Amino acid sequence: MSGSPRERQLSTTVLVIGTGGAGLRAAIEVAEQGVDVLAVGKRPRHDAHTALAAGGINAALGTMDAGDSWQQHAADTIKESYFLAHPRTVEIVTRGAERGIRDLERYGMEFAREADGRISQRFFGAHTFRRTAFAGDYTGLEIQRALVRRTEQLGIPILDSMYVTRILVRDNIVFGAYGFDLRDGTRYVIHADAVILAAGGHTRIWRRTSSRRDENTGDAFRLAVEAGARLRDPELVQFHPSGIIEPESAAGTLISEAARGEGGILRNALGERFMQKYDPERMELSTRDRVALAAYTEIKEGRGTEKGGVWLDVSHLPRETITTRLPRVYQTMLEVQMLDITADPIEVAPTAHYSMGGVWVRPEDHGTGVDGLYAIGEASSGLHGANRLGGNSLIELLVFGRIVGRAAVAHSAGLDAQRRSADAVAQARAEIDDLLAADGPENVRALQRAIRDTMTEHAGVVRDETGLKTGLAELERIEARMSDVGVHPDIAGFQDLAHAFDLKASALSARATLEAALERRETRGCHNRSDYPELDPALRVNLVWSPATGVVREEIPPVPDEIAGLIREVSTEGKLVE
């Protein structure tokens, strides 16, 4: 192998891809079972996307409202999903939520508490009761810190600059993964009995997004699909109502829902409090899809600010409330815009925030249908349907991190042998070799930007048949250009190679999203079709996508009576207000 790159071989029982909250919680569970685990991530663990989650984490603890129950939490989740959530998944998360919170306490997480020591809980949009526990508006960061501390106590090995390019499979059974080190290009063959995919969603394929550069480019979707798994509801993407507009480098950075929870007011450029038109009852505390659509409509109809946004104002609140309840928002705006939110409003616009669909998984153990391959967190699907409740994603990672860690251990224990395939490894190796040899005229970054422009233009907050078809035609042209890229690793490392893989992931995710959005000819939750403004009862199904089959419909089981009885009707009022 002289002259060829270094390749190292590692072995572990369970491999976790992704070192955000979901990945670390799964790794902790495996280690606590006394089993070997290795976690790998493409960015430093302290800087994982989970650290950006601001508002809080949901569990029906009943500390503030004794009437709350897991059943009511489940009912709220299913109602807000517009009945696309899988009832079994919802039940597992809401029943397991309190246990998830207790686990965090066990890892030393500091929650905000009432004077008598109870965990404080606040209202979040569309919850029946106060059930969102928090730590200031730094909840995700505190959770990530607690999980990192626990992995350190357990001595879990974590490789921080590893880019996984392929999951290794033989006869539909996983036997590991292949990847390279982002700094020096060293290749890795990692043999593992089970692989847990926790590498996030695909919101980076829009121009304005709450994800940072080079994360959430759809890596998990591509890895899963190329291993033989499928995607469910990729078109269901949550646009958060309030992302900042500038500076360009920070566009899309979120202003937490907590700002509205504490009494923030939305106004258009004319100074009108426009939520009165769209949801007079809940106003700014309406659901994310409605507030985002309302802001989008105001901007589209010419009542937006010069820069294409609306105003979010908290300046009428007591200064102390802002600095103690919204410290992160206060700090961020001072840093990025020199804006004092105690005195001035914040200019915001809808921003791609969360992939509510993702890899198709079974509710019970989040298995993907490829033996030994599991998906969790934003990479997976089943809980959120067409609208995610704020605070549900953080609890989901804790509940399923625990369950999937156990499932992976059980899968490994049940294997007679780990059957490998030299062919699969050779293919993974060749894929990298071919890219490194690529010396075409096309620039990877420019093509990524082209995908973002296409998705923003044709598959944003509001969609229609013509736009989606145009988007697919544009994507085809981009895909054709992708065969002519040039990849040039440099003295700074192998980032360029990583971007080329990000581009592949983004193109696959964009295709899945556009094809499913075309098929969903209705308006439901986050998915607004201006040419089909009504809910279609026949589309109360999940859309499952793979390159081989395209989009197929999958029935959703009925909601159990004890939950169904607590659901109030979903109204579409205030949705597409013409």
The string of pLDDT tens digits covering residues 194-244 is 999 999 999 999 988 888 888 899 999 999 999 999 999 999 999 999 999
Q: How far is it, in rounded angstroms, from Cα 302 to Cα 288? A: 21
Domain definitions of the chain by residue range: 7-51+81-87+141-237+354-419, 239-352, 423-532
C-alpha radius of gyration, the chain, whole number: 23
Catalytic (active site) residue 288? yes
Surface-to-core class of residue 395, CB atoms within 10 Å of its CB (0-12 exposed, 13-18 middle, 19+ buried): buried
Catalytic annotation, pick one of 204, 288, 402, 524: 288
CATH topology (fold) of 7-51+81-87+141-237+354-419: FAD/NAD(P)-binding domain (3.50.50)
> Is the separation of the CB atoms in 364 and 404 below 8 Å?
no
Q: How confident is the model at residue 574 (pLDDT cuts 50, 70, 90)?
A: very low
The string of pLDDT tens digits covering residues 94-111 is 999 999 999 999 999 999
The string of pLDDT tens digits covering residues 450-504 is 999 999 999 999 999 999 999 999 999 999 999 999 998 887 779 999 999 999 9
User: Among the CATH numbers 3.30.70.920, 1.20.58.100, 3.30.1330.10, 3.40.50.180, which is that of 423-532?
Assistant: 1.20.58.100
CATH number 3.30.2130.10 is the correct assignment for the domain at 239-352: no
Nearest to 168 by CA among 503, 411, 423, 354: 423
Higher-confidence position of 75 and 125:
75
Distance in angstroms between the alpha carbons of the first and the last residue of the chain: 66
> Is the separation of the CB atoms in 16 and 194 below 8 Å?
no
Name every residue whose Cβ is closer than 8 Å to that of residue 136 and which is 6 or more positions away in sequence: 112, 324, 325, 327, 328
Name every residue whose Cβ is closer than 8 Å to that of residue 21 and which is 6 or more positions away in sequence: 48, 50, 53, 140, 143, 144, 147, 377, 394, 397, 398, 401
